[in-house]
Homo-oligomer: A and B are copies of this chain.
Amino acid sequence: MSGEDAPAEQQNAVDQKQETKPAEEPKAEEPKTEPAPAAAEASPAATTEKVPEEDTFTYRALVLTGYGGYDKVKLQVKKGKPVLKAGEVLVRVKACGLNFADLMARQGLYDRLPSPPVTPGMECSGVVEAVGEEVTDRKVGDKVMALNRFGLWQEVAVVPATHTFLIPEGMSFEEAAALPVNYITAYMMLFDFGNLRPNQSVLVHAAAGGVGIAATQLCNTVKDVTVFGTASASKHETISQGGVTHPIDYRTKDYVEEVRKISPKGLDIILDPLGGSDTHKAYNLLKPMGKLITYGAANMLAGQKKNLIAVAKNWYHQFSIHTLSLIQGNKSVCGFHLGYLDGETELITQVMSTILDLYKQGKVKPHIDSTWHLEQVGDAMRKMQERNNIGKVILTTEPMPEEEKKEEPKKEDKKEDKKKDDKKKDDKKKDDGKKEEKKDDKKKEEPKKEEKKEEEKKEEPSKEEK
Q: Is the CB of A320 within 8 A of B318?
A: no
Q: Interface segment, A21-29, A328-336, A426-434?
A: A328-336
Q: Is the CB of A295 within 8 A of B327?
A: yes
How many chain-A residues does the 8 Å CB contact rule pick out?
A: 37
Instruction: Return the contact of A325 from the options B325, B328, B335 (Cβ within 8 A).
Output: B335
Tell me whether A222 is interfacial, beta carbon within 8 Å: no
Q: Which residues of B contact A291 (CB under 8 A)?
A: 193, 332, 334
* Contact A335 to B341, CB < 8 A, known contacts A195-B195, A322-B320: no
A327 to B193, CA, bound (A): 12
A328 to B323, CA, bound (A): 19
Tell me whether A324 is interfacial, beta carbon within 8 Å: yes
Bitwise interface map of A from 284 to 296 toward B, beta carbon under 8 Å scored 1, else 0 = 0000110100111
Bitwise interface map of A from 314 to 354 toward B, beta carbon under 8 Å scored 1, else 0 = 00001111111111111111111100110010010000000
Q: Which residues of B contact A341 (CB under 8 A)?
A: 288-289, 330
Secondary structure dominating the interface of A: mixed
Tell me whether A279 is interfacial, beta carbon within 8 Å: yes
Instruction: Return the contact of A332 from the options B193, B279, B337 (Cβ within 8 A).
Output: B193
A321 to B333, CA, bound (A): 9
Q: Is the CB of B330 within 8 A of A323?
A: no
Q: Is the CB of A321 within 8 A of B324?
A: no
Instruction: Return the contact of A322 from the options B192, B318, B331 (Cβ within 8 A).
Output: B318
Q: Is the CB of B347 within 8 A of A340?
A: no
A378 to chain B, nearest CB (A): 27
Tell me whether A229 is interfacial, beta carbon within 8 Å: no
A344 to chain B, nearest CB (A): 6
* Contact A337 to B327, CB < 8 A, known contacts A195-B192, A289-B347, A344-B288: yes
Q: Is the CB of A337 within 8 A of B333?
A: no
Q: Tell me the residues in window 339-383 of chain A with beta carbons closer than 8 Å to chain B beta carbons.
A: 340-341, 344, 347
Tell me whether A188 is interfacial, beta carbon within 8 Å: yes
Tell me whether A275 is interfacial, beta carbon within 8 Å: yes
A218 to chain B, nearest CB (A): 15
Q: Is the CB of A188 within 8 A of B323?
A: no
Q: Is the CB of B327 within 8 A of A331?
A: no
Q: Is the CB of A323 within 8 A of B294?
A: yes
Q: Which residues of B contact A279 (CB under 8 A)?
A: 323
A50 to chain B, nearest CB (A): 50
A295 to B254, CA, bound (A): 33
A170 to chain B, nearest CB (A): 31
A344 to B289, CA, bound (A): 10
Question: Which of A193, A195, A323, A326 counts the most chain B CB atoms within 10 A?
Answer: A323
Q: Is the CB of A330 within 8 A of B335?
A: yes
Bitwise interface map of A from 165 to 193 toward B, beta carbon under 8 Å scored 1, else 0 = 00000000000000000000000100011
A325 to B325, CA, bound (A): 18
Q: Is the CB of B344 within 8 A of A335?
A: no
A205 to chain B, nearest CB (A): 14
Q: Is the CB of A327 within 8 A of B289?
A: no
Q: Which residues of B contact A321 (CB under 8 A)?
A: 320-321, 333
Q: Is the CB of A319 within 8 A of B322?
A: yes
A417 to chain B, nearest CB (A): 31
A333 to B192, CA, bound (A): 13
Q: Is the CB of A337 within 8 A of B330?
A: yes
Q: Which residues of B contact A329 (CB under 8 A)?
A: 335, 340
Q: Is the CB of B319 within 8 A of A323?
A: yes
A319 to B327, CA, bound (A): 12
Q: Can you list 27 A-B pairs with a CB-CB distance of less than 8 A?
A: A188-B289, A192-B289, A193-B291, A279-B323, A288-B341, A289-B341, A291-B332, A291-B334, A294-B323, A295-B327, A318-B322, A318-B323, A319-B323, A320-B322, A320-B323, A321-B321, A323-B335, A326-B333, A326-B334, A326-B335, A327-B335, A327-B337, A328-B335, A329-B335, A330-B336, A332-B333, A332-B334
Interface, chain A (partner B; CB < 8 A): 188, 192-193, 195, 275, 279, 288-289, 291, 294-297, 318-337, 340-341, 344, 347
